[in-house]
């Protein structure tokens, strides 16, 4: 074994009855037998079928748009262009960065009418009696373009005289961090290491393409049943469609994978417009190819690291520059850039840090949220940089990291004090130990092992003042109902809330039913993004369930003539802890409470820490509530003659604070790890002059079950997270360290590192060919 496994500090987590158990998720059976109804499965009487007409140019002026033939086609209910809905814009505003005050044209027009800025930009909407008629109508739309000069490389786009995608210039966002002094930091250094890293696009490739149905209900509200990560978009949609906010009703469905790709508004805006214009139900389901064209991608980055280190590996200065390609519209680019900026130095204690980050507009596919939200790009760069530092100093990669790993009580580059456990060496040594002895080289095949550590926020930016609500009620038959607007992406968001309520109210999990994802009927819980639902809605559910429990215990205390502290609830009964034979069934207790007018339900609001924005000049201040820490390790076999890389073993170790459902947490760790391995080795979105050359799943390859070995998931529980029962978040963190770990393993095998992913066979051979 390469490393001594670092012992864990003593942690005494209370034994719980439901939380932490690998129970079958409440949504599992429906999926297993096909009962789960996804957005594309719904239909309605008199339903029309919607289609989007899209740009075939990356940068052009529309000189003529004639939809008259499409409108005249029998069976076409309506054709909408940007001229019909001039005010339909999706607002993009990060104070100080985007927004109409800062940059005219930050907003995204729902339909382009004068100019198109990317290939696939929506220009018109069609609703027709059948899909075939809708398709035919698309082919009857006549359009003439006058090509405009386009810009397809963010570095080119920053140069004077480059074509401007949207005035005033191509700079969409900027962040900087200034901590300590570059001058003294580099002066203290024994060695300065410089590298440039290139990180590519990534496509979400969820199983379920965007889908939904919209109609106008009997109260005149536009109701949209849609697969989304964010039901709160009803507000933006109301503004774009021109109705009041309480006249848009979003009914989210079980989501067949989101990964950030259903974080921005997708088809729901088109459905709303078409339903409003036709006053009939309208359905829209993207094909896979349209899904590729229509939604954002992960941001490509160029990241430069210049690091000063002492001979023992201690970092004295870190100067980082990063440029991301925002594509044609800002969407969430300023936010993603902030994440990359703040995470840029990695989970290391560095006194002197300077980061300069810019997001640049181009005529490429637009980029926005993707699992990790800028964190994986930062992690690839800082972990490759750490490996190179180790190589140049002749030190072991773990030894270099150990000197610098953040400890509890240390500050991040923005001066945020970390209060939770930072089990970096603990996770790195366990992940590496799980690989076991290294397989020997054979023939032209070289074997290598490597790992990467990371930190990744969970919860939203603290100056966004995030809140979540959940309602929990006990029914008269002893069952529990939860109402929370949480979208379930398949990651177990809803199930976790059920396990929490079951724990607190002392009922078996199967007695809990949850109603989710309805913007009008369930309390708003916020977005299923930013690894925030367990933290935010888990806490809201914990609060609401605890409030109901307190009502029950109060009444039970009268019944037993005992203090509340002497009582507990489990297995559907309240009981006396010192004499468990004294029990009161929850059904009877609920009836007592009801007949005495006691409140058997509770609506709770959980607030994350609220802070002021960071200082825009120095980046100093708190950015997130807390971080998850962990490591990923891989063993690879590299064929030095063909460049092919085979992953032989993989292991991920994360401190997730506390597992609420152990099986679901392992699922996240393995699934996120696979997505990260694909990002590192295989997934290759080829874009030429703004056109995606790999626009389907037969061209843009994602891993199959044959490609990678099982990832050993090692869960550590420090109990120090801000979530319920000490939980941290794992949804996004699971992906972040996988690509850099596999890159480290390849570098370990070959003795040369490849600073650019995906590490394709050709890049391996090119690296080996270097003198």
Partner 1 sequence: MQSEIELYRPQNLAEALTLLADYGPDGTPLAGGTNIVVELRDGHHNCKSLVDLSHLMELRGINQQNGYIVIGGGTTITELIDHPLIGAHAGILREAARLFANPLVRNRATVAGNLVDASPAADTAPPLLALNAEVQLMSQAATRWIRLEDFITGVRKTLLQPGELMFAIRLPVPSDRSAGAYNKVGLRKADAISVLSAAVMIELDDAGLCKQTGIALGAVAPKPFRAYEAEALLFGKVLGPELITEAARLAAEASRPIDDIRGTAAYRKRVVAVTVRRLLTKAVEVLK
Residues that bind partner 1 (CB under 8 A): 132, 135-136, 139, 641-644, 682, 684, 686, 693-694, 698-699, 701, 703-707, 760-762, 765
With respect to partner 1, which residue has the nearer C-beta, 339 or 700? 700
Closest approach of partner 1 to the CB of residue 438, in Å: 22
Burial class (CB in 10 A: 0-12, 13-18, 19+), 127: buried
Give the Cα-Cα-Cα angle 531, 290, 27 (nearest 5 degrees).
Answer: 40
Which is nearest to 557 in space by CA: 570, 546, 567?
A: 567
H/E run at residue 303: strand 301-309
With respect to partner 1, which residue has the nearer C-beta, 158 or 648? 648
Cα-Cα-Cα-Cα torsion 128, 134, 136, 138, nearest 10 degrees, comes to: 120
Find all residues with CB under 8 Å of 225, minimum gap 6, and list them: 39, 42, 212, 213, 214, 251, 252, 253
Closest approach of partner 1 to the CB of residue 442, in Å: 13
Closest approach of partner 1 to the CB of residue 642, in Å: 5
Closest approach of partner 1 to the CB of residue 277, in Å: 24
With respect to partner 1, which residue has the nearer C-beta, 35 or 769? 769
Can you tell me the distance from the alpha carbon of 712 to that of 650, in angstroms, rounded to the nearest whole number? Answer: 6
CB atoms closer than 10 angstroms to residue 9: 10
With respect to partner 1, which residue has the nearer C-beta, 609 or 643? 643
Write the secondary structure of 307-354 as one string of H (helix), E (strand) and C (coil).
EEECCCCCEEEEEEEEEEEEECCCCCHHHHHHHHHHHCCCCECCCCEE
Can you tell me the distance from the alpha carbon of 649 to that of 663, in angstroms, rounded to the nearest whole number? Answer: 21
Closest approach of partner 1 to the CB of residue 762, in Å: 5
Length of the chain: 771
Phi first, then psi: give them for residue 431, nearest 5 degrees: -65, -45
With respect to partner 1, which residue has the nearer C-beta, 599 or 693? 693
Phi first, then psi: give them for residue 680, nearest 5 degrees: -75, -30
With respect to partner 1, which residue has the nearer C-beta, 491 or 638? 638
Can you tell me the distance from the alpha carbon of 402 to that of 503, in angstroms, rounded to the nearest whole number? Answer: 38
With respect to partner 1, which residue has the nearer C-beta, 203 or 263? 203
Which is nearest to 228 in space by CA: 515, 568, 509, 529?
A: 529
With respect to partner 1, which residue has the nearer C-beta, 389 or 685? 685
Can you tell me the distance from the alpha carbon of 634 to that of 711, in angstroms, rounded to the nearest whole number? Answer: 9
Closest approach of partner 1 to the CB of residue 707, in Å: 5
Burial class (CB in 10 A: 0-12, 13-18, 19+), 707: middle
Closest approach of partner 1 to the CB of residue 694, in Å: 6
Tokens encoding 717: 């529980």
With respect to partner 1, which residue has the nearer C-beta, 506 or 678? 678
Phi first, then psi: give them for residue 730, nearest 5 degrees: -135, -10
Per DSSP, 572 falls in state T
With respect to partner 1, which residue has the nearer C-beta, 113 or 694? 694
Closest approach of partner 1 to the CB of residue 704, in Å: 4
Closest approach of partner 1 to the CB of residue 138, in Å: 8
Closest approach of partner 1 to the CB of residue 688, in Å: 10
- Neighbour order of strands in the sheet with 445-458: 445-458, 626-639, 645-655, 711-716
With respect to partner 1, which residue has the nearer C-beta, 238 or 765? 765
Closest approach of partner 1 to the CB of residue 283, in Å: 18
Tell me how far apart the terminal alpha carbons of the chain are, to the nearest angstrom. 33
């Amino acid at each position: 074994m390469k490393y001594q496994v670092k012992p864990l500090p003593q942690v005494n987590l209370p034994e719980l009855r439901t939380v932490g158990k690998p129970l079958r998720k409440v949504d599992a059976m429906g999926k297993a037998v096909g009962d789960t109804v996804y957005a594309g499965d719904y239909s309605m009487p008199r339903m029309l079928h919607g289609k989007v007409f899209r740009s075939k140019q990356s940068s052009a002026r529309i000189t003529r748009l004639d939809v008259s033939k499409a409108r005249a086609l029998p069976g076409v209910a309506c054709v909408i262009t940007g001229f019909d809905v001039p005010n339909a814009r999706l607002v993009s505003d990060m104070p100080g960065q985007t927004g109409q005050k800062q940059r005219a044209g930050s907003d995204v027009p729902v339909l382009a009418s004068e100019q198109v800025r990317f290939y696939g930009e929506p220009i018109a909407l069609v609703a027709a009696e059948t899909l075939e008629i809708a398709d035919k109508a698309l082919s009857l739309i006549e359009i003439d373009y006058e090509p405009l000069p386009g810009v397809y490389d963010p570095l080119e786009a920053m140069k004077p005289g480059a074509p401007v995608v949207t005035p005033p210039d191509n700079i969409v966002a900027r962040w900087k961090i200034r901590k300590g002094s570059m001058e003294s930091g580099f002066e203290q250094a024994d060695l300065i290491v410089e590298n440039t890293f290139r990180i590519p696009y990534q496509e979400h490739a969820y199983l379920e393409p965007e889908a939904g149905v919209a109609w106008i209900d009997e109260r005149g509200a536009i109701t949209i049943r849609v697969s989304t990560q964010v039901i709160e978009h009803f507000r933006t949609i109301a503004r774009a469609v021109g109705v009041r906010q309480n006249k848009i009703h979003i009914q989210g469905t079980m989501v067949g994978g989101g990964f950030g790709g259903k974080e921005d508004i997708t088809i729901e805006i088109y459905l709303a417009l078409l339903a409003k214009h036709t006053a009939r139900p309208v359905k829209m389901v993207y094909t896979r190819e349209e899904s590729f064209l229509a939604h954002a991608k992960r941001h490509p980055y160029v990241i430069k690291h210049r690091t000063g280190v002492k001979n023992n590996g201690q970092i004295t200065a870190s100067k980082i520059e990063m440029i991301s390609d925002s594509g044609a519209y800002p969407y969430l680019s300023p936010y993603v850039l902030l994440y990359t900026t703040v995470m840029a130095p990695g989970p290391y204690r560095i006194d002197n840090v300077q980061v300069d980050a810019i997001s640049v507009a181009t005529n490429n596919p637009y980029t926005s949220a993707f699992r990790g939200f800028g964190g994986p790009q930062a992690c690839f760069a800082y972990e490759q940089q750490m490996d190179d530092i180790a190589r140049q100093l002749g030190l072991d990669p773990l030894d270099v990291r150990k000197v610098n790993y953040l400890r509890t009580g240390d500050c991040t580059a923005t001066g945020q004090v970390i209060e939770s456990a930072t089990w970096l060496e603990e996770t790195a040594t366990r992940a590496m130990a799980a690989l076991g002895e290294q397989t020997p080289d054979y023939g032209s095949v070289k074997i290598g092992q490597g790992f990467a550590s990371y930190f990744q926020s969970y919860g939203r930016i603290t100056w966004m003042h995030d809140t979540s609500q959940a309602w929990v009620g006990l029914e008269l038959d002893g069952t529990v109902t939860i109402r929370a607007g949480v979208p379930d992406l398949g990651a177990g968001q809803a199930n976790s809330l059920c396990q929490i309520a079951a724990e607190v109210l002392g009922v078996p999990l199967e007695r809990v039913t949850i109603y989710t994802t309805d913007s009008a009927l369930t309390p708003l819980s916020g977005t299923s993004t930013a690894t925030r639902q367990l933290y935010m809605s888990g806490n809201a559910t914990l609060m609401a369930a605890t409030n109901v429990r307190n009502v029950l215990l109060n009444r039970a205390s009268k019944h037993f003539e005992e203090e509340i502290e002497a009582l507990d609830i489990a297995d559907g009964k309240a009981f006396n802890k010192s004499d468990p034979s004294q029990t009161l069934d929850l059904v009877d207790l609920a009836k007592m409470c009801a007949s005495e007018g006691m409140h058997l339900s509770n609506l709770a609001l959980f607030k994350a820490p609220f802070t002021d924005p960071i200082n825009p000049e120095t980046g100093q201040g708190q950015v997130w509530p807390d971080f998850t820490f962990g490591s990923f390790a891989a063993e690879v076999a590299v064929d030095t003659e063909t460049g092919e890389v085979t992953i032989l073993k993989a292991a991920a170790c994360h401190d997730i604070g506390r597992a609420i459902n152990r099986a679901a947490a392992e699922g996240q760790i393995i699934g996120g790890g696979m997505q990260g391995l694909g990002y590192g080795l295989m997934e290759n979105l080829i874009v030429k002059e703004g056109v995606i050359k790999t626009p389907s799943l037969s061209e843009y390859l994602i891993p199959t079950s044959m490609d990678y070995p099982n990832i050993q998931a090692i869960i550590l529980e420090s109990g120090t997270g801000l979530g319920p029962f000490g939980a941290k978040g794992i949804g996004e963190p699971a992906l972040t360290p996988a690509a850099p770990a596999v890159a480290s393993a390849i570098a370990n095998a070959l003795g040369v590192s490849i600073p650019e992913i995906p590490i394709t066979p050709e890049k391996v051979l090119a690296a080996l060919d270097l003198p």
